[in-house]
Amino acid sequence: MTAAEPRRIHLLSPRLANQIAAGEVVERPSSVIKELLENSLDAGARRIDVDVEQGGIKLLRVRDDGSGIPAEDLPLALERHATSKIRDLEDLERVMSLGFRGEALASISSVSRLTMTSRSLEAEQAWQVETEGRDMAARVQPAAHPVGTTVEVRDLFFNTPARRKFLRAEKTEFDHLQEVIKRLALARFDVAFNLRHNGKSVLALHEAPDDLTRARRVAAVCGPGFLEQALPIEVERNGLHLWGWVGLPTYSRSQADLQYFYVNGRMVRDKLVVHAVRQAYRDVLYNGRHPVFVLFLEVDPAVVDVNVHPTKHEVRFRESRMVHDFLYGTLHRALGDVRPDDQLAAPALAVQVQRPSGLAAGEFGPQGEMGLAANLAERPATAAGWQGAGAGYQGQRPSAALPQAEAQGAYREFFAPLPATDPASLPEGGADVPPLGYALAQLKGIYILAENSHGLVLVDMHAAHERITYERLKLAMASEGLRGQPLLVPEALALSEREADCAEEHAQWFQRLGFELQRLGPESLAIRQVPALLKQAEATGLVRDVLADLLEYGSSDRIQAHLNELLGTMACHGSVRANRRLSIPEMNGLLRDMEQTERSGQCNHGRPTWTQLGLDDLDRLFLRGR
């Protein structure tokens, strides 16, 4: 046929249509195992056994104790668009099952040799259906099988060699397959999972009905170190219920390979979720690192659309902005509330610590999040500043005109210098030892050595002070707000009509952040005012990026990120430097501030500010008890 001849329209053969559909659903053995396991879970299985040979290329066998399939439905189960999970449009709008498209078994059978044996609860015996990719005719015969279903998939892609050659090595394919099982095991604590590879047991996860057994399963999937370095989360608001675990910022990874997020029990990788989590970790994560988490979001199925991707990895929320803000706010607050005593939850041998009190111990009264700023503001300002660097230490309190004064690098410090009292002469108080203990000495003008009930605490004094100063600058900015700086010559900005509409819609939001934008035409804006602290920034590029975020996610943190970066630089320059000698009272003041300051476990750049060496750690160093 020449290029000029018109091509006639014709129907595809069932075999070719199924193989095309298989390209969407079946990429590798792990794709097959995902579809089969989801069917088992939808059938109410409480135990699932998986046998794999050669990474799943030679054999995939999934056996469950679910409700089974009636004999007359077995051949129909292998047809396209055949499913027991939805019947009409209303079911599609409130999908409660993991699978619902009715294409998985048909697609899998078109590229493999498939055998399915099943027995329903009411049936007296089991039945088996077989099919091969070459001819789609199904053969049904009686078989022996308990209540439940077994699906065998042999010789994957045997009839599509072009697809088979794209498969990786056996170990690589098995690793992908094992990861799929782990994801589903985290979603369903009430189901037992067993995995064997080439006859060897690889995974044996029992049912996890209580908190202890759930923790064991999470440790088996994510590693024992995860729960030791994770925060439990459970928040419910506006019909959204979020629970699970988020890793501490110091327990991060170089790859995003330990991130599990579930919506109504379905594992998803959604860009809205990723953006919200990244925002929450923005101030505490080291550059290039990725957070770890296992989180479960439960919502009304009617407000989430799971039918937006063939593999069902993505979802669409009806109220995406509300979901984004809920995730960000919950995680941001949880990370901000972490204090040293939360990180020292593990029991340790109690030791006697000489406890100074009063000013020498840095005890200046209660310091709530907002009470901290109020207490500091009431202190008289001193021209001398600290007694030494970073003394006293209720730290640096910026003046009320912070955004303007700080832009010129001006600081006012609010604290009273502490007396250089010998802590050894102080009476021992009756209070418990604080989480970071009491200072013993300073090492090389860089580190503070302190003793607490667990053993030895090492503190990087500059990193710790930098975080404290940074958090106070942010509090002061939040209370004072942002002052705008009018531009002598307004900057014109050419945009699409959609972007200009978005800017006009969010005009009040921009104004609160110090921007003034004016609509000049259908596709143009004028920037008349920018935040005073960002007057050196490229305003046009920043506004473009913010509008792109608003259109994509319904929110943007770019302006705040730029402001935080500037405040972080100011905090770094305004913090106590290395080789500055601090007195014992000054060091204790810094320790007390760390215990009260949000995110004090990391500096602004995500580096840890302190570490604990327990007595067991020290005993191992010196081989004590051997």
Interstrand relation of 293-298 and 259-263 (parallel, antiparallel or unpaired): parallel
Structure confidence by residue, pLDDT tens digits, 549-587 = 788 777 676 777 777 776 777 677 767 777 788 899 999
> Model confidence at 363, in pLDDT bands (50, 70, 90)?
very low
> Model confidence at 156, in pLDDT bands (50, 70, 90)?
very high
> Which tokens sit at 180?
């799929």
- The DSSP call for residue 261 is E
Mean pLDDT score of the chain, rounded to an integer? 78
Residue-by-residue DSSP string for 330-364: HHHHHHHT--HHHHT-S-----------GGGGT--
> Which tokens sit at 17?
């249509």
| Mean pLDDT computed over 411-426 | 35
Q: How far apart are CA 247 and CA 245, in angstroms?
A: 7
- The DSSP call for residue 123 is -
More confident residue, 152 or 98: 152
Which ranges of 514-553 would DSSP assign to H, the alpha helix?
A: 539-553
> Which tokens sit at 432?
């418990």
Percent of the chain surpassing pLDDT 90: 35
Contact 41, 183 (CB under 8 A): no
> Model confidence at 99, in pLDDT bands (50, 70, 90)?
low
Whole-angstrom Cα Rg for the chain: 31
More confident residue, 201 or 390: 201
> Which tokens sit at 93?
């709008």
Residue with tokens 């949880």: 334
Q: Please, what sign has the CA dihedral across residues 454, 458, 461, 467?
A: negative
Closest among 465, 322, 441 to 390, alpha carbons compared: 465
- The DSSP call for residue 187 is H
Percent of the chain surpassing pLDDT 70: 75
More confident residue, 410 or 321: 321
Contact 325, 555 (CB under 8 A): yes
Most confident of 229-233, 360-364, 535-539: 229-233
- The DSSP call for residue 446 is T
Structure confidence by residue, pLDDT tens digits, 165-209 = 888 899 999 999 999 999 999 999 999 999 999 999 999 999 999
Query: Rounded to 5, what percent of the chain is helix, strand, coil?
Result: 35, 20, 40
pLDDT at position 396, please?
35
Spell out the domains of the chain, with CATH numbers in brackets.
14-203 (3.30.565.10), 223-338 (3.30.230.10), 349-626 (3.30.1540.20)
Q: How far apart are CA 531 and CA 463, in angstroms?
A: 28
More confident residue, 468 or 85: 468
Residue-by-residue DSSP string for 220-240: HHH-HHHHHTEEEEEEEETTE
Closest among 481, 399, 464 to 611, alpha carbons compared: 464
Which residues, listed in sequence order, are joined to residue 518 by a DSSP beta bridge?
Answer: 526
Least confident interval from 5-9, 55-59, 491-495: 5-9
Residue 328: CB partners within 8 Å, gap ≥ 6?
276, 277, 279, 280
Chain length of the chain? 626
Q: How far apart are CA 219 and CA 323, in angstroms?
A: 28
